[in-house]
Structure 1
Amino acid sequence: MPDLPDLNMERAERAVRIFNRLRIPDVPGTPLLVDAAGEWFRDIVRALHGSMDPVTRARMIRELFILVPKKNAKTTLGAALMLTSVLMNDRPNGEFLIVAPTKEVAQLAYDQCSGMIELDRGLRRRFHIQTHLKKVTYRDTGATLQIKSFSPDVMTGVKPSGILVDEEHVLAEKSDAIRVMGQIRGGMVSQPEAFLMIITTQSEKPPRGVFRSDLTKARAIRDGSVQGHTLPILYELPHDLQKASVLPGEAAPWEDPACWHMVLPNAGRSITVERLVEDYHEAKASGVEELTRWASQHLNVEIGLALRNDRWAGADYWSQQAEKGLTLKELLARSEVTVAGIDGGGLDDLLSLSVLGRDSVTAEWLHWQKSWVFEGVLELRKREASQLVDFAKGGDLVILKEPGLDIIELADVLKDVDRSGTLAMVGLDPMGVGAIVDALAERGISGSRVVGVPQGWTLSGAIKTTERKLADGTLLHADQPIMSWAVSNAKVEPRGNAIIITKQAAGYLKIDPLMSLLNAVALMSKNPQAKPTMSGFMRRGLLSV
């Protein structure tokens, strides 16, 4: 909690007194929050309610972003804060909402709110409870607190005085999450005292969509790089402890229980480190997939790769081989020779291009990629739509409206690569690539330099080569999120003495960027030499004009 010197402490402490008098309905003895809640959440209550200017009614803190691991009573404490806000409110018929990702979470939030009211004789008289609507009404002002599920229909037209969004990382997986959050924020504009509180754990998958955007903004405000009216309360380990060491037999820094207390604000109440140690050993015994999921939920460790038990072995080494800031321009400048791999099929696929260079000094392989997709895929694959939009914002993916533009843009990129004088070969799946071959030929890339790369079990050699190059540190990549996503989507299937990675095995998940890399690796494994050209000699400084 940062220092907030301009708080209205009279109002802040009044809110804390109300909060402290509420009882937890689902704990033996129904203890008062003055005893059961940690000081960390009382600080949040103070900050939110003490930040409102009594004259202008505008809040200095309009949004709160609270990132806290599971089992720290966030749903219970969030419900108590919203009930406190209803009691502090003086706007007639003010509307307060708790928005939950599922019916089960919504029911839990409602049970906590109604239970707190039922346990206080004074509150029972002053509130009207409507269980069938999951709604409570404060008779004195007509203000309501209602629990709703997350959907565009429910959020359209709301003008909340206060709203709590629970588990935003789950909501972000919905295709319309950005639009719904936009409706929520838009509905607050007309009320100067309105606030939005987001309380969530870390995602079980790499952060995406609106959750990723809000988390990034909260971190930037916390770190002082930007300013805003959001109060970030982020319980996450320091960056050096979050490093995902997933090498066989090697524990990650975050696996040390001595550091877990840093992210458990409610320790000693709803959760203990000792209990987490037991759960940790169970998760670790279940495999790396369950362990990474457990760490994301109980320690707020951000997952870079979704590592399943049937994952591709190269995924274990992918993160450590990232070279941040590696661009195509730098790759071309450092490489003595380059090859390109292309993958992509129908309108439902990503058309992916990988450029793989061999460093002229170290002989390391350097990788960069770009992908294209038609906007119709966002409708066809709604569960991945927000992820694809994120990649487009980052520049690794281009979302197109017209068929054919993807091939034109891909061919233009390879034309630039060819101008560097390093391009030896372009490899692609032999099936259905006529348009790509024609576009390359128009740009002077044709003949023996454009080759088909057999797929299926014949790619086994490229798969194993890529694994080894990642493991021994001789393959570096540009740290592009879309590649991490594709790598984590890859599933391996044994076929006799070979292994295969196929789109069928990946199911609805996309692996096209990875397949383009494997096609490029198949070519680079042939030890190609760049065709000597005038531009190539000039690039290396061997010829002057």
Structure 2
Amino acid sequence: MQEVTAEILIERVWAYCEKILSGEIKACQKHKWAVQRFFKDVEALADSECPFYYDAEAVLDFYEWARQFRHVEGILAGEPIELTDFQLFIAANVYGFFKKENGARRFRKVYIQLARKNAKSQFLALMASYEVFPTTEKHRVFIAGWSREQSDEVYQAILEQLQHAPILEGKYTSANGRVKKYKTNSIIQPLSREARKLGDGKNPSLGIVDEYHAHETSEIYDVLDSGMVARRSPLMAIITTAGFNMERPCFKEYKYTSKILDPDADTENDDYFVMICELDPDDDIKDESNWIKANPIVATYPEGMESLRSALKVALEVPEKMRSFLTKNMNRWVDQKDNGYMKMSKWRACSGEIPDLENMAVYLGLDLSMTTDLTSVGWVGVLDGIYYVGQHSFMPEGRAKEKMATDKVPYDLWKEMGYITYTPGDAVDYQIVEKWIIEFIYKHRFRPQETAYDKWNALHLAQRLESKGHTMVEIPQRINHLSLPTKDFRQKVYDGKVVHGDDPVLNWAINNAIMKIDPQENIMLDKAKSPQRIDPAAAVINAYARAMYHETNQKVDLNAHFMSDNFSF
């Protein structure tokens, strides 16, 4: 067998890159950009002013380290780990570039996004053990999952690798949920938010954030990142699949790192290595030749392709499985939850300028929740077949800090932006809500056509508004009453006939909304199952339940309809 040298490895990497750019190996646009970035970085090394140098021997070290371990499952179980060309390309970037000023690694951060079952845990385990064992320095490696189960998955992969590596026998102990190297007291430890173990703030040298798409906030990432300040050559590695919640920190990281790769974007970060493998927007998921774009390893062997075929077949037969197939197997971000109400890409496309309301027919909607929670007023203005929508919400000032901690959203910022009003004390003062409605009407010079309300918590306010001349219409919060307006509002969004002002509170509520579906396929927004508050969206739906009839002059008297012989539960 030919001896592997640093030169041979770099030739492998270079040949792989050329195959990506020539199309011999099919790859997504961002994968191609990553290769172009590598070529550009290597060419820049010839300039004496370049702040970096390249050490091919360091890449060989990582490659040889990987060969000390064996595959522990799958068709290669028992065989030495031989890095694939794709893995070697990542290693050539992460472990090859160094800073001239201090010999530290160039890349301090790594973002890798690819589909599941592409040896993600195996590669993370190699990174973790490489950080600790072939060195005389003391290192601390933390694996951060949102849940203990998630962080344990990578940790168990590390343990399995170590247990199948004869060269490490007797050199470490694994007890109390951590690996400890005898000679240096270096550790590898899983962390999780729920266990409240966040690295003790003690100088991690390698932080691994696994499946970042599942992290509801960036708190674990932030703790690890801030703890690395004193390290000369720290590394923060995010390796994840795509997700379906665009409000979580991973999607923001995905958008940012995509700009780092894009040669036409004015975003540069020499400290950040990025590799994203995904289907391109216009790719046909049924075209098997596209699958390698998201599956640079799985799609290279027959058993992997067969597993993808099987997953696609299930997704096509059971639509509820399609979201999982697209995110986990095709690495596409999908902006809809299970039973999620709205495709957020459609909603975002409806963002626009709101004209003066005085020229519209305006309907108001109330969603007055418990006085200690968020309370919302929604409005829908109708003009020339277009529905202009917005909201304003109220939060008791005495509960605001508590709600920001539990809801993980910036109510204080939204207050400063004018989308929320704080009311004094620990409960929402409905007199302030009433005053805001009156002032809103006066400011925008319109007379509301109708004000729709849920009588739960709102009956007294409805009576007060009615005494001031408002036409009040009760909207029972039952699925057979709300299904039509809930479905029709969504369809109007998809048809581009709704305009909203990019209100972050309403965007948040729409994204949170989960549907309740009955056997007759009636739907309504489900507050009980929605992970966070949907009150602003519910208020808008209440208003739309009346506004939807304006254009066709089918102004149905709901109160009379509910009392008629034609209505039944």
| Deviation of the 1:197 alpha carbon | 0.6
1:226 maps onto 2:267 in alignment: yes
1:99 maps onto 2:144 in alignment: yes
Q: Which residue of 1 aligns with 2:518?
A: 493
| Deviation of the 1:295 alpha carbon | 1.4
Q: Which residue of 2 aligns with 1:294?
A: 325
Match of residue 332, structure 1, among 349, 352, 356:
356
Match of residue 512, structure 1, among 504, 516, 535:
535
1:201 maps onto 2:241 in alignment: yes
The one-letter amino acid of 1:167's match is: E
1:49 maps onto 2:80 in alignment: no
Structure 2, unaligned stretches of length 5 or more? 1-33, 43-51, 553-569
- The separation in 1 between residues aligned to 2:139 and 2:312, in whole angstroms, is 44
TM-score by length of 1: 0.76
User: For residues 517 and 268 of structure 1, do their structure 2 counterparts lie closer, same or farther at Cα, with a shift above 3 Å needed?
Assistant: same
Match of residue 121, structure 1, among 161, 166, 183:
166
1:216 maps onto 2:255 in alignment: yes
The one-letter amino acid of 1:300's match is: N
Matches within 5 A, 1:264-283: 264-266=295-297, 267-268=299-300, 272-283=304-315
Aligned positions, number: 491
For residue 31 of structure 1, give the secondary structure of its aligned residue in structure 2: coil
| Deviation of the 1:473 alpha carbon | 5.2
User: For residues 222 and 391 of structure 1, do their structure 2 counterparts lie closer, same or farther at Cα, with a shift above 3 Å needed?
Assistant: farther
1:146 maps onto 2:185 in alignment: no
| Deviation of the 1:499 alpha carbon | 4.3
For residue 33 of structure 1, give the secondary structure of its aligned residue in structure 2: coil
CA contact (8 A) 1:68 1:300 kept: yes
- The separation in 2 between residues aligned to 1:15 and 1:270, in whole angstroms, is 31
Question: What's the C-alpha RMSD, in Å, of the aligned pairs?
Answer: 4.0
For residue 357 of structure 1, give the secondary structure of its aligned residue in structure 2: strand
Give CA-to-partner distance per residue, 1:61-87, whole Å, 9 cap, x none.
111111111111101111112222224
CA contact (8 A) 1:12 1:47 kept: no
Match of residue 33, structure 1, among 81, 94, 115:
81
- The separation in 2 between residues aligned to 1:460 and 1:120, in whole angstroms, is 60
User: For residues 194 and 417 of structure 1, do their structure 2 counterparts lie closer, same or farther at Cα, with a shift above 3 Å needed?
Assistant: farther
| Deviation of the 1:399 alpha carbon | 8.4
1:303 maps onto 2:338 in alignment: no
| Deviation of the 1:398 alpha carbon | 4.1
Q: Which residue of 1 aligns with 2:23?
A: none
| Deviation of the 1:324 alpha carbon | 4.2
Q: Which residue of 1 aligns with 2:407?
A: 385
- The separation in 1 between residues aligned to 2:100 and 2:345, in whole angstroms, is 50
Q: Which residue of 1 aligns with 2:510?
A: 484
User: For residues 109 and 390 of structure 1, do their structure 2 counterparts lie closer, same or farther at Cα, with a shift above 3 Å needed?
Assistant: farther
Give CA-to-partner distance per residue, 1:460-506, whole Å, 9 cap, x none.
5534543564566544555663243244x1213369xx946365664
Greater mean deviation of Cα atoms: 38-47 or 471-480: 471-480
Match of residue 70, structure 2, among 16, 19, 24:
24
Give CA-to-partner distance per residue, 1:178-225, whole Å, 9 cap, x none.
33322211210011211111111122x413433334333323333334
Greater mean deviation of Cα atoms: 393-402 or 78-87: 393-402
The one-letter amino acid of 1:427's match is: A
| Deviation of the 1:294 alpha carbon | 2.3
CA contact (8 A) 1:86 1:138 kept: no
User: For residues 492 and 238 of structure 1, do their structure 2 counterparts lie closer, same or farther at Cα, with a shift above 3 Å needed?
Assistant: same
Match of residue 415, structure 1, among 439, 444, 450:
439
User: For residues 232 and 504 of structure 1, do their structure 2 counterparts lie closer, same or farther at Cα, with a shift above 3 Å needed?
Assistant: closer
The one-letter amino acid of 2:125's match is: A
Q: Which residue of 2 aligns with 1:346?
A: 370
CA contact (8 A) 1:18 1:84 kept: no
For residue 249 of structure 2, give the secondary structure of its aligned residue in structure 1: helix
User: For residues 99 and 404 of structure 1, do their structure 2 counterparts lie closer, same or farther at Cα, with a shift above 3 Å needed?
Assistant: closer
- The separation in 1 between residues aligned to 2:79 and 2:421, in whole angstroms, is 54
User: For residues 263 and 521 of structure 1, do their structure 2 counterparts lie closer, same or farther at Cα, with a shift above 3 Å needed?
Assistant: same
User: For residues 283 and 386 of structure 1, do their structure 2 counterparts lie closer, same or farther at Cα, with a shift above 3 Å needed?
Assistant: farther
User: For residues 133 and 401 of structure 1, do their structure 2 counterparts lie closer, same or farther at Cα, with a shift above 3 Å needed?
Assistant: farther
1:358 maps onto 2:382 in alignment: yes
TM-score by length of 2: 0.73
